[in-house]
Structures are given as C-alpha cells and as structure tokens.
C-alpha cells in the first residue's frame, strides 16, 4: 500500500517538475516577490518632500528648519516665499506637507511664551502624512526639551519609547515573514488544484480513479508534492531573509517548520475543494484567484486584522493565510513558544480537517 503511494508521489513530482512552464511558475513569483516586495510594499516614509513657509525667519525657526532637513525621512526641503505658494504645492503633490512658522515664532519662544506651528498635510496620502507628522512632532518635542532644560517644570515625567522585535521599525522585518506565508500559499494552491484540473481535462484523472489507489491515497499523492514545493519555497525566502536582508530569526526553526506543514494541509484542503468544484484549468485558475485575493488581502498583510470591523474579523477566522501570517511573525520575530502559537495552530487544524473531508466527500460523490 505504501509502495503504491510512494510511486504516485514520485509520478506527481516528476510531472510537476518536468514541464518548464510549471517550473517557471513555481520559481519566478518567489524570486520576483522576494526581491521586489520588501522594497516596494512599504508603509514607511522615506524620500518625502516637504515645504517650509517661514514667516518668522528668526533663530528658532531656522534651527528647526535645519533639524527637519536633516531627518532621514525627508529628502527634499523646499522653502516657500509666500502664502500663495502653499496651495499649489500641496495640490500638485510637490510636497507631502507644508510647515508654516507664524510671525514672531522665535520672539515668543525667546520670551518663554507658548507659540504654535502649523502643519498642512496632503489628505490624499493621509497615512504617510500622519507618519511624517509624527516624525516632525518628535523633532519639535526634542527641541522643546532642550529649550526647557534647566528651567523648573511642574511635571518631571518623561516618555521613553522602545520598539521590541524590530528596534528600528524597519518595514522589511514585517514584509519578509509575511512573504513566507504568501508565497507558500500560491505554490500549494497551484500545485493541488491546477494539477487535478489538468488531469481531469486530459482524462488522466479517470485513469487514476480506476487504479487500485483509494481516494485518500490520491489525496495524499497530491498533498505531499505540494508540501515539498511549499517547504522549498519557504526555505528560499527564509534563507534570503536571514542572510540577504539580515533579519535575525528569533524563534525555533523546528516549531516553524512544524506549523508550516499544518498550514500546508489546511491549504491543500482548500486546493482540493476548489479542484473538486471545477472541471477545467481555466475555472480552477479563476477559482484559485477568487479564493486567494480575499484571503491575502484580509490576512493582515496589507492592513492589520484588528482594524477591521468585528464581524469581518470573525469571518477571517476561516482564512488560513491570516493564521499563518500571525504565526510567521510570532516565531520569526517574537520567539513565541508553542502555547502562544497554538492559538493560531488549532484553527488551521480545524480548517484542514473540514476542507479535506468536504473535498473527499465531493470526490466520492462525483465518482459514484
């Protein structure tokens, strides 16, 4: 029995790796995404242009301007001559934000009187603008602290900020672990659902069905090559992440691969289910697309799951990609132990069991 299974797995792997087209599909997206995504998919603010309209031109406003210009987030600082220039520069997106120093800014500060600083931000990029505004506020706060040094204060508390798991809040540290989840998703779904659809189109599925192999053996025969492909793809991303992007792997590799295999089974379940519903490759492709797009978009990769409305958060419970992106970050960056990761692992087990058995039932029904 196991010999039969072994020959089936070998046959699957051979037919998978023989065609150059399929080989390309399994490798190209991995490389493109690993090279492109960490640089492109970033919500960080760097290279932003800002503009400054200084009605004051005193010592303090000039000093602050210089500090803004030195900040790494801003590559270009434009100095405006009149208030009329503010509108076109924001409208035409020549600057993400405009800083306006009011008249007597330095004079008031010199006398120890409170004054204000106006920020005008482009709401078309409100997220970046907000982050840039945070940077500016930090610079202003530090400057204020320096001005106040030595003076008696009514409140001597101090806020100290530390970022754990990713000290510099580098977006690549967030993208690479998530990519492991994304890339294995594509690999597994394509291998399981498209290979069955192709066999059905070519009529070889019927040959498999009449062979002495049981349905579960055919399933295993499809699942094992998919797992192997996913493990190889994930290892490629992991190696590039650790050595090329220099993101330290904090957790346990054993636990990481163990959870990946469970994740693999939950996706195999979905892949088999899609292929049980489709009769042609084109339908299977559209099926994979229709499943994958929401699964990836609602996985927490583009925006955090906790920002969604509660009812939608509940729906994402059936989304395996969501659980595995959580797991990858927990193990890769946070060195989480099994009892923490378990909260995301058991939903994967439930998903794998239910989709797998649903696919099994549908296959049996189609044969009968």
Partner 1 sequence: MADHAPLLSPRRLSALCVKETRQIIRDPSSWLIAVVIPLLLLFIFGYGINLDSSRLHVGVLIEQQNSDALDFTHTISASPFMQPTISDDRGKLIQMMQAGSIRGIVVVPNDFNQQMDRVGATAPIQVITDGSEPNTANFIQGYMQGVWQVWQQQRAEDRGEVFQPLIEVQARYWFNPAAISQHFIIPGAITIIMTVIGAILTSLVIAREWERGTMEALLSTQVTRTELLLCKLIPYYVLGMLAMLLCMLVAIFILGVPWRGSFMVLFIITSLFLLSTLGMGLLISTLTRNQFNAAQVALNAAFLPAIMLSGFIFQIDSMPAIIRAVTYLIPARYFVSTLQTLFLAGNISVILMVNTLFLIVSAVMFIGLTALTTRRRLD
- Residues 300-339 touching partner 1, rule: CB under 8 A, are 302-304, 306-309, 312, 326, 329-330, 333-336
Nearest to partner 1 of 38, 356 (CB atom) = 38
- In the region spanning residues 269 to 288, those forming contacts with partner 1, defined by CB under 8 A, are 281-283, 285-286
The dihedral through the CA atoms of 240, 326, 318, 298 has a sign that is negative
Collapsing DSSP states into helix, strand and coil, what is residue 267?
A: helix
Question: What is the nearest approach in angstroms of partner 1 to the Cβ of residue 121?
Answer: 5
The encoded tokens of residue 148 equal: 């106040």
- Measured distance CA(54)–CA(365) in Å, rounded: 76
Question: How many C-beta atoms lie closer than 10 Å to residue 346's C-beta?
Answer: 12
Residue 238 binds to partner 1 (criterion: CB under 8 A): no
Closest CA to 261 of 337, 187, 179, 348: 348
Residue 7 binds to partner 1 (criterion: CB under 8 A): no
Stretch that binds partner 1, among 3-11, 220-228, 264-272, 292-300 (CB under 8 A): 292-300
Collapsing DSSP states into helix, strand and coil, what is residue 101?
A: strand
Question: What is the nearest approach in angstroms of partner 1 to the Cβ of residue 331?
Answer: 10
Question: What is the nearest approach in angstroms of partner 1 to the Cβ of residue 21?
Answer: 7
- In the region spanning residues 189 to 218, those forming contacts with partner 1, defined by CB under 8 A, are none
- In the region spanning residues 58 to 117, those forming contacts with partner 1, defined by CB under 8 A, are 90-93, 96, 109, 112, 114-117
Distances in Å between the Cα of 163 and the Cα atoms of 170, 254, 335 are 10, 26, 15
- Measured distance CA(292)–CA(167) in Å, rounded: 32
Nearest to partner 1 of 182, 224 (CB atom) = 182
Stretch that binds partner 1, among 128-136, 203-211, 239-247, 347-355 (CB under 8 A): 128-136
Using CB under 8 A as the criterion, what x/- string covers residues 130-169 for binding partner 1? xx-xx-xxx-xx-xx--xx---x-xxxxxxxxxxxxxx-x
DSSP annotation of 102 = P
E strand or H helix at 51: strand 48-54
């Amino acid at each position: 029995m196991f010999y039969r299974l072994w020959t089936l797995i070998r046959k699957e792997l051979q037919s998978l790796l023989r065609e150059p087209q399929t080989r390309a599909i399994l490798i190209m997206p991995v490389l493109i995404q690993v090279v492109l995504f960490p640089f492109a998919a970033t919500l960080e603010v760097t290279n932003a242009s800002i503009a400054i309209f200084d009605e004051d031109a005193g010592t303090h406003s000039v000093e602050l301007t210089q500090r803004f210009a030195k900040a790494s987030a801003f590559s270009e600082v434009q100095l405006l001559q009149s208030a009329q220039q503010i509108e076109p520069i924001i409208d035409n997106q020549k600057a993400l934000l405009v800083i306006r120093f009011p008249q007597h800014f330095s004079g008031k500060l010199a006398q120890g009187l409170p004054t204000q600083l106006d920020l005008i931000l482009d709401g078309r990029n409100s997220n970046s603008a907000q982050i840039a505004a945070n940077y500016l506020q930090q610079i202003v706060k530090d400057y204020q602290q320096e001005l106040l040094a030595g003076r008696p204060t009514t409140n001597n508390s101090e806020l100290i900020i530390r970022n754990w798991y990713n000290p510099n809040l580098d977006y690549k540290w967030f993208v690479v672990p998530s990519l492991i989840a994304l890339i294995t998703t594509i690999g597994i779904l394509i291998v399981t659902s498209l290979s069955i659809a192709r066999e059905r189109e070519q009529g070889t599925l019927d040959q498999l069905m009449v062979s002495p192999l049981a349905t579960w053996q055919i399933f295993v025969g499809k699942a094992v090559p998919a797992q192997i492909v996913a493990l190889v793809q994930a290892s490629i991303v992991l190696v590039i992440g650790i050595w090329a992007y220099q993101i330290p792997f904090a957790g346990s590799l054993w636990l990481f691969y163990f959870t990946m295999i469970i994740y693999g089974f939950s996706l195999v379940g979905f892949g088999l289910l899609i292929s049980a519903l489709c009769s042609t490759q084109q339908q299977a492709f559209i099926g994979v697309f229709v499943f994958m797009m929401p699964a990836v978009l609602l996985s927490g990769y583009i925006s955090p799951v906790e920002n969604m409305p509660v009812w939608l958060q509940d729906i994402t419970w059936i989304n395996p990609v969501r659980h595995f992106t959580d797991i990858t970050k927990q193990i890769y960056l946070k060195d989480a132990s099994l009892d923490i990761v378990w909260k995301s692992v058991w939903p994967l087990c439930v998903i794998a069991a239910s989709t797998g058995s649903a696919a099994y039932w549908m296959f049996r029904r189609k044969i009968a």
